[in-house]
Amino acid sequence: MEDVLESLHQPSSPQNPTTCPDNRIPYLVRKCIALLQNCASSKFKLKQIHAFSIRHGIPLTNLDMGKHLIYAAVSLSVPMNYAHNIFTNIQSPNVFTWNTMIRGYAESENPKPAIELYNHMELKPDTHTFPFLLKAVSKVVNVRAGEKIHSHVTKNGFESLLFVQNSLLHMYAACGRYESAYNIFEFMPEKDIVAWNSVINGFALNGKPNEALTLYKKMVSEGVEPDGFTMVSLLSACAELAALALGRRAYVYMVKVGLNTNLHSSNALLDLYAKCGTISEAHKIFDEMGTRRNAVSWTSLIVGLAVNGFGKEALDHFKEMEREELVPSEITFVGVLYACSHCGMVNEGFHYFRRMKEEYEIVPIMEHHGCMVDLLGRAGLVKEAYEYIQDMPLQPNAVIWRTLLGACTIHGHLGLGAFARAQLLHLEPKESGDYVLLSNLYASEQRWSDVHEVRRRMLNEGVRKTPGHSLVELGNQVHEFVMGDKTHPQSKAIYEMLVEIAKKLRLAGYVPQTANVLADIEEEEKESALFYHSEKIAIAFMLVNTLPGTPIRIIKNLRVCADCHLAIKLISKVFEREIVVRDCSRFHHFRDGYCSCKDYW
């Protein structure tokens, strides 16, 4: 390539390169451009052409030359400062060049300058400008900028274009405004597969999995055929609800239409199985993927193993991932450190934390520090955890202090617990979970007047306890139960089953763990309050409705309390059922009277 370029123009002497005579520029530029058009496959060629231009004095400020260099750089994902330098030197760039710059930033790791560029755009934007720009807005999650751009779309008369509508729809969904996204969707005269996927994903992303599933069914009933993108959204909605049966049906469909070879869909499926606690199935998908696996597949499995309590296996897979020379991401390390903290592997945790920084040059994010605080705190090194927080390069957030408070509650460290609580009160004063944690800390020390004080403050501040709820899937339906739930049509049978459970557990030696109830109410009242926790109701419901030996899977929005944990261990033994509980931070696999967390959670 360089030879071709060199032959176009011979400098007068190699030691003393001359600038290109003006009359040769158009010819050289044309040749360069022809070559640039074929260069979208190699950064190396781009560099050579750039060097050639400099050597022979072809000005990069020449619009024809500059815009192609920018286009090539953006297509090759060359860091944006390269394109930016050329761009700032071009005299009067055209719309294509502005668009290419906006696109480049939108696709880069730092999309914010795309919006700033648009604000300084000296030309009228065209139909290409807005999709690029909205992509940037979606990535920086700036709904106010998005709304402003929406009004510009309208002003420019582009609102009726399908592409632009889809961009707007996606922008609102990505910014958490799933209702605005749905509004756009509803009024679209023509809805293609991208529109359906975007609106379904908007719900799946924003904690509305049921709405996502409903729309999916509507899409299928209207004869629109799902593709790989649809499957990803569907499967992630299923994962949130732990709708395993539905996810399995989706897999059957994927195999039927050949989508099981789609990398993203397979990854989403793998994640679904991991999130349902069915690690063996996750493994099966992972094995089936073979060489198609990428870093996301490995990360999903590693995180899945870690949260399911298989810390050692998670680390083994990490080592294998390294052997296969896949580059772990910061999320991979969240999984690795999580595995260490939840399995009490303190030394390993520090080992991997160091390697992450030194070998992979990953700057620790808050989540990594959270794992480290948890690693120390769980292992009973509460003071060391506090010292770690003090030495952290980042300003500790509420999650960090909550982790410390949790460790203080488990290991009974009143002084530090109260201190962590004070920080939390400052950062997130209305978080009911923190009141509960503090109250549990006092209750475990029988300091009932302090427990009372916490409760009084909660009432005064108008903080309501987040109601606990549990989800179970039966047949094709997900059932939800809240504490003391009596609204279910099968309520009578459920409560009869609860009485039977109570009877059998007593015989097995069960003593209710009442210390964690948020008040010094009478013992008997406490017992009944515990017995109506949503997870126990959900278990009773499943015992009524499933055949002996069927595993029971439960998703809980809060942490499992000590009493439920003990009771479920015994239920798994007495009723001979495998019970998997996914709480807000991890999995518990109960079997034959034991839990996979080894009572360390």
Q: Which residues bind DNA (CB under 7 A)?
A: 33, 37, 67-68, 71, 95-96, 99-100, 103, 126-128, 131-132, 135, 138, 161-164, 166-167, 170, 174, 192-195, 197-198, 201, 205, 227-233, 236, 239, 262-265, 267-268, 271, 275, 294-297, 299-300, 303, 329-332, 334-335, 338, 365, 367, 370, 399, 585
Other C-beta atoms closer than 10 Å to the C-beta of 8 total 16
Which token pair is 421? 């609580």
Nearest CB to DNA, comparing residues 364 and 468 = 364
CB of 198 to DNA, least distance (A): 5
Helix, strand or coil, per DSSP, at residue 482: strand
Q: What is the 3-state secondary structure (H, E, C) of 424-488?
A: HHHHCCCCHHHHHHHHHHHHHCCCHHHHHHHHHHHHHCCCCCCCCEEEEEECCEEEEEECCCCCC
Please state the closest distance from residue 526 (CB atom) to DNA, in A. 30
Give min distance, CB of 213 to DNA, in A: 15
Helix (H) or strand (E) holding 554: strand 552-556
Measured from the CB atom, is 227 or 450 closer to DNA?
Answer: 227
Considering the complex, state which of residue 335 and residue 512 has its C-beta at the smaller distance from DNA.
335
Other beta carbons less than 10 A from residue 222's beta carbon: 9
Name which of 212 and 543 has its Cβ closer to DNA: 212
Check the CA dihedral 513-519-525-530 and report its sign.
Answer: negative
For residue 277, what are its two tokens?
Answer: 């606690």
- Residue 507 C-beta: closest distance to DNA, Å: 38
Q: How far apart are the C-alpha atoms of 375 and 307, rounded to whole Å?
A: 14
Q: Which is nearer to DNA, 68 or 577 (CB)?
A: 68
Query: To the nearest whole angstrom, how small is the minimum distance from the Cβ of residue 540 to DNA?
Result: 29
At its nearest, how many Å lie between DNA and the CB of residue 246? 16
Interatomic CA distance for residues 380 and 382, integer angstroms: 5
Which residue, 292 or 492, is less far from DNA as judged by CB? Answer: 292
**Burial of 16 by CB count in 10 Å (0-12 exposed, 13-18 middle, 19+ buried)?**
exposed
Q: Are 580 and 552 within 8 A, CB to CB? A: yes
Which CB, 233 or 440, lies closer to DNA?
233
Give me Rg for the CA atoms of the chain.
29
Distance between CA atoms of 497 and 559, rounded to whole angstroms?
24
Residue 563 near residue 530 (C-beta atoms within 8 A): yes
- CB of residue 576 to DNA, shortest distance in Å: 31
Closer residue to DNA in complex, CB, 370/468 = 370
Contact 535, 563 (CB under 8 A): no
- The nearest distance, CB 454 to DNA, in angstroms, is 24
